[in-house]
Amino acid sequence: MLYNEIKILSKINHTNIIKFYGFSAFQDISVLKEFCEGGSLHSMIHNDEDYSKNLPEFNRLRLLFQISEALIYLKSQAIIHRKIEPKTILLTVNLDVKISNFSFAGIHTVEMVKNRSLGNDFKSLKRV
């Protein structure tokens, strides 16, 4: 999973995605990434409820916009994150979003899109 994260992060570059600086494979694998001193969206919501409840609507919309921008960029690069949640959305002191944790991410190939099933597979549905 760590190799997958390194592979994907080394190929992408976006303002709202955590920056990858490099890695070391000496004994254990260590990954050097951007530090987000604001913590995660999860910790902001759960650890500082007064702050998150009183967060101005402008800032809430700004966070949503930045998350959307990052996801649109990932789609343009044929990357599926697969684990977007408040814990994987990091924040800077200025409330800039940085999407992190690409361990479960995947790269969508043209072949995968051709072979995917759209809608329900009625043969696999069980009768109730």
CB distance 34 to 13 below 8 Å: no
Domain topology for 2-111: Transferase(Phosphotransferase); domain 1 (1.10.510)
Supply the DSSP string of 65-123, one letter for each residue.
HHHHHHHHHHHHTTEE-S--SGGGEEE-TT--EEE---TT-EEPPHHHHHHPPPS--GG
For 33-54, write each residue's pLDDT tens digit: 999 999 999 999 888 778 778 8
Determine the pLDDT at residue 128. 45
For 98-116, write each residue's pLDDT tens digit: 999 998 898 887 666 556 6
pTM of the model: 0.79
